[in-house]
Amino acid sequence: MKHIDIKEVFADKALVNTKVTVCGWVRTARNSKNVAFIELNDGTSLKHIQIVVDKESGVDFEDALKLGSSLKVEGTVVEGRGGLPEINAESITVIGTCPAEYPLQKKRHTLEFLRTMPHLRGRTNTFNAVMRVRSVLAQAIHEYFRSKNFVYVNTPLITGSDCEGAGEMFQVTTIGYSTEYKNEQEYYENDFFGRKAGLSVSGQLEGEMAAMAMGKIYTFGPSFRAENSNTPKHLAEFWHVEPEIAFAELPEVIETAEDMIKHVIRTLLDTCPNEMKFFDEHFEKGLIERLEELISHDFGVVTYTEAIRLLKESGENFVYPVEWGCDLQTEHERYISEKVFKKAVFVTDYPKEIKSFYMKQNPDGKTVAAVDLLVPGVGEIIGGSEREADYDKLVATMQERGMNLDLYTDYLELRKYGSVPHGGFGLGFERLIMYVTGMQNIRDVILFPRTVGSIR
Ligand code: 4AD
């Protein structure tokens, strides 16, 4: 079906006074005395193109006024109101009709209502803008790492080892309910892989192996977590960006994270001005200014120990009490970034007990070289660390935690054969999108959210 993108009609001034063919879905329609107006959107642009039908022209348009129907329109581009292009229709073909019970009517629907129709909500301005921002950010992330000599690798989604050790792995099995097996071991031995397998919570362990060969790598793919957290910022399936850097200590990991975030936000502001203006107007007043501000200053850096002191001295009534050794909750993370620093802030050197086994142990014997990036409005968007590169120390920690070393043989061997200081981080892609759009619920920044108790 030969046609041009509606985005092109807005972008290319040379199209004025020429004939074009566009396709799209009817967003609004108005029938007045001598003319009819149809706003058409094909998803390439946030703005709809106005189709003007002169009733004298003989163009058959009656069926084309129904919201949601899909049309092919041929006509001449003219300069309309405010200098924006419009199309004077010369012929209209209804490709797909749409009945009056079409759920997306003219009024503004709530995000909760739209969540009940993931197959249609992409046709609203909000989701159209979110998905375009998502796409631009993904490309900006690839562009950033490519420009810095990182190799893009794809780590497995099915794995035999739990990276984070939090027991949040979905099990992968081909054996359904069965009472045939004497015990768990026999059951797993008979399963597809001959041992217990699950969906990966992180590509980091394999990412480290790749970095030990290619120096600087990153992964960008889905991670799965069977966390029973029904919150606005948790998904069971989220997209995870995980760089891993060889010959690097914690400060270089932090520097890369800051540089990458600044690069992708700059690219977004430059590439999607209309979408960002839309979010600024409808979802978070002052959003663009806040992002400009963010990328023009250094991010804050504070140790966990100092953050705990700040929280304790804050006089705030937190729901979760603050003590050295506690995990920071969203309310604490937001207080640190919103009230104390008023910007993005890296929190470093957490107590070893609340962090994963692979993190580098600090000389104090109490903390590890971990880092989280906290941002106002969302809380944690990045979690990372320098990795423990010393074989004996790593084995000791894993034994203390009662881990089965046999499942991590390859990982441990990296510490035997030319071990080097290295580190990396994981960025929750959806959390980044929430932060840059002002969307408050993670279910609204991914096409088909998977959350506890809900799949469609
Ligand atoms: O802090 P996390 O658990 O770190 C890791 O997985 C490391 N292996 C990363 C690394 O060093 N390579 O997760 C990293 C980020 C979090 O900061 C958060 O943004 C996101 O992943 N995340 C989630 N996003 C949505 N839903 C969930 N259930 C998430 N769990 C983590």
Judge whether 419 and 394 are in contact, CB under 8 Å: no
The answer to whether 98 and 66 are in contact (CB under 8 A) is yes
Q: Judge whether 424 and 217 are in contact, CB under 8 Å.
A: no
pLDDT tens digits, 312-329: 999 999 999 999 999 999
Residues 263 and 140 in one domain: yes
Residue 107 lies inside a defined structural domain of this protein: no
Residues 144 and 27 in one domain: no
User: What distance in angstroms lies between residue 396's CA and the mean position of ligand 1's atoms?
Assistant: 25
Task: Tell whether 196 is covered by a domain.
Answer: no
User: What CATH number corresponds to the domain at position 56?
Assistant: 2.40.50.140
- Does 421 reside within a domain? yes
Is the domain of 264 the same as that of 381? Answer: yes
C-alpha span between 167 and 172 (Å, rounded):
14
In a domain, 170, yes or no: no
Instruction: Write out the DSSP string of 328-378.
Output: PPHHHHHIIIIIIISS-EEEEEEEGGGS-TTBPBPTTSSEEEEEEEEETTT
Same domain as 269, residue 142: yes
Q: Taking the CB of residue 246, how many other CB atoms lie within 10 A of it?
A: 20
Q: Facing residues of 223 across strands?
A: 238
Residue 66 neighbours by CB under 8 Å, 6+ apart: 26, 29, 97, 98, 99, 100, 102
The reply to whether 96 and 138 lie within a common domain is no
Q: Count of alpha carbons within 13 Å of 163, Cβ hemisphere only?
A: 22
Maximum Cα–Cα distance for the chain, whole Å? Answer: 86
Q: How far is the CA of 228 from the centre of ligand 1 (A)?
A: 15
Q: Quick one: pLDDT at residue 59?
A: 86
> Residues lining ligand 1, judged by CB closer than 6 Å?
163-164, 202, 204, 225, 227, 234-235, 238, 240, 242, 380-385, 424-426, 428, 430-431
For the CA of 229, the closest atom of ligand 1 is 28
Q: Are residues 351 and 397 in the same domain?
A: yes
Whole-number Å distance between alpha carbons of 161 and 404: 9
Residue 383 lies in a domain: yes
CA-to-CA distance for 396 and 17, rounded, in angstroms? 75
Please indicate, yes or no, whether residues 128 and 97 belong to a single structural domain of this protein.
no
- The pair of structure tokens assigned to 309 is 């002191």
Whether 150 and 29 share a structural domain: no
pLDDT at 42 (0 to 100) = 97
pLDDT of residue 266: 98
Atom of ligand 1 nearest to the CA of 373: 17
Q: Are residues 293 and 385 in the same domain?
A: yes
Note whether 50 and 93 are same-domain residues: yes
3-state secondary structure of 46: coil
Domain count, the chain: 2
Instruction: Kindly state the helix (H) or strand (E) to which residue 188 belongs, with its residue range.
Output: helix 184-189
Judge whether 336 lies within some domain: yes
* CA–centroid distance, residue 223 to ligand 1 (Å): 8
Q: For residue 353, what is the domain's CATH number?
A: 3.30.930.10
Domain that holds residue 21: 6-102
Residue 286, domain member (yes or no):
yes
Cα–Cα distance, 241 to 219 (Å, whole number): 6
Positions of the chain with pLDDT under 50: none
340 in the same domain as 265: yes
Examine the domain organization and report whether 81 and 44 are in the same domain: yes
Which residue owns the Cα nearest ligand 1 atom 31?
428
Q: Would 262 be classed as within a structural domain?
A: yes
